[in-house]
Homo-oligomer: A and B are copies of this chain.
Amino acid sequence: MHAVALPGIPEVRPGDDLAALLATAGARLDPSLGAADVLVVAHKVVSKAEGRVRALVDIEPSPRAQQLAAEHGKDPRHVQAVLDESAELVRADRGRLISRTRHGFVCANAGVDQSNTGAEGVVVLLPEDPDASARALRAALGVGAVVISDSWGRPWRVGQVEVAIGAAGLRVLVDHRGHPDRDGRPMAASVIAVADEAAAAADLVRKKASGEPAVRIRGLEQLLIEGAGQDAAVLIRAPEDDLFR
């Protein structure tokens, strides 16, 4: 497996043709982007291109947003943006807001981000439908698979890791259950979230602050699927199946 960041992607702005920017950057790789590649794209550039940004100055915080902001030391307009993206506030504690987004993702601040937004006073939201965004990029770029990623914290573990919030062309989950292990016993509980692992691998080669939102991974042909592949939405655990709500 080989992973390399696409070079020279400029700041992305609402309405930009992200596929064209990625294609131009991908053509600078040797060999250039192709049908055997998995392309991992940080959601922020996808969201920006899709216009999923809000200016804080345009946001009128509700009384609930004002109260949460006061309790947690946050900007009430940012909190309002979080609430607008949330189906449910799962936890609000010690300055942290953990939401279930309208997609079903459970993550901090419903994915509403204030860093690397491209402008002062602007927040970036998650894409409306990250799997659809992945499918569109895959079709436009002719790559084997596209993963759209975000950096998330985890319960019980310090630090963030990159996870897959959108995917196309990939086996998102690989199910080893029932396959014999080395001893010939069926393997238990071995469903691997390879899309999340691909997102994490890509993160190791990106420079966060210097405009490297996309990483090409080669050597994962065994994870590619003809057709659309699995949606990253399959990674969302059903609330009734979750022990930690």
Contacts and interface: CB of A to CB of B under 8 A. Distances in A.
Nearest to A234: B158
Interface in A160-210: 160-163, 173, 176, 179-183, 185, 187-194, 196-198, 200-201, 203-205, 208-210
A242 interface: yes
Interface residues of A, number: 71
B244 A190 contact: no
Given A11-B182, A116-B183, A187-B208, A244 B156 contact: yes
B115 A161 contact: no
Contacts of A204: 1, 194, 197-198, 201, 220, 223
A125 to B, nearest CB: 16
Interface string A2-13: 111000000100
Nearest to A210: B182
Tallying the copies of this chain within the complex gives 2
A213 to B, nearest CB: 10
A171 to B, nearest CB: 11
A11 B108 CA distance: 42
A29 to B, nearest CB: 14
B244 A115 contact: no
Given A116-B182, A160-B190, 8 more contacts: A1-B201, A119-B183, A154-B154, A159-B191, A159-B196, A161-B200, A182-B210, A182-B211
7 contacts: A154-B193, A155-B243, A157-B235, A159-B192, A192-B208, A198-B204, A201-B204
